[in-house]
Amino acid sequence: MQGPRPVVLSGPSGAGKSTLLKKLLQEYKNVFGFSVSREFLGPLAKGSTSREEMQKEIDAGEFIEHAEFSGNMYGTSKGAVQAIQAQNQICVLDIDIQGVKNIKRTELNPIYISVQPPSIDVLEKRLRDRQTETEESLRKRLTAACVDLELSKSGGLQGGGHWWLRWHFLPKGCIPLLRGMLAGAGCWIGSITA
C-alpha cells in the first residue's frame, strides 16, 4: 500500500484506546485519519454488513484483518486504509489482538501501539463503570484481555515497531509520547500544540 505508514492501536476493551485515539485525532486532525471497521453484529443489527457479504469479501482478500468476538464479525478493509493514505494522512486502526496477528502476516508494515490497563482488576472496574456489559460479556472481555496482555508482551508480537503502553489514566503527556514513538519509527507529525 502506498502512503504514510499506518498506526495500529490494539488492546482490550477498556484499556484506553478510544480515549487515546480521540485525543490524537483532536490534536492532529489533518495528519491522522481513522479507519472505521466493517462489522457484522448479528441478523437483527440494523446497518451492519451481512455475514455472507462480509465473508465473501474476506475470502476475496479485501480485508487486511478480521476477527470474530461473541458471534460478531469485525474487520478492516484494504479500501478503507487506502482511502486515508490517498489523502496523505497516517491511517490509525483500532483493532484487537486477533487483528494484530492477521496484520503481522500482511505487507502493511504499521507501527504497533499496544495499550494495556495497569491490571485486570482496574480493567474490570472500568468495564463495570461503563454499565454496558452483562456478567457474561464482562467475563468474555476479561478472559480476552488476559490473552491480549500475554500475547502483547510475547516475542511473537514484539519488534517491528511494536510499542507497549500501560496507564491508570490518560496522562497529560500522552501526545508528546506518541509523537516521540512515531518519530522514532520515521513518522513526523509536527509540533505539539498543547
Distance CA 190, CA 63 (A): 31
Domain presence at residue 162: yes
Residue type, 91: C
Domain presence at residue 84: yes
> What pLDDT score does 192 carry?
30
Kindly report the length of the chain: 194
Q: Which structural domain range is residue 153 located in?
A: 7-184
Q: For the chain, what is the domain count? A: 1
Over residues 136-190, the pLDDT tens digits come to: 988 988 888 888 777 766 644 554 555 555 554 445 555 666 666 555 544 444 4
Percent of the chain with pLDDT over 90: 7
Provide the whole-model pTM.
0.72
Domain presence at residue 154: yes
Distance CA 137, CA 121 (A): 16
Domain presence at residue 61: yes
Sign, Cα dihedral of 103, 182, 146, 157:
positive
Domain presence at residue 190: no
Q: Which residues pair with 114 in a beta bridge?
A: 10, 164
> What pLDDT score does 60 carry?
93
Q: What is the DSSP letter of 188?
A: -
Domain presence at residue 62: yes
Domain presence at residue 189: no
- Is the pLDDT assigned to residue 24 strictly greater than 60? yes
Q: Residue 87 is part of a domain; what is its CATH number?
A: 3.40.50.300
- Is the pLDDT assigned to residue 36 strictly greater than 70? yes
Q: Which three cell numbers stand for residue 192?
A: 505539539
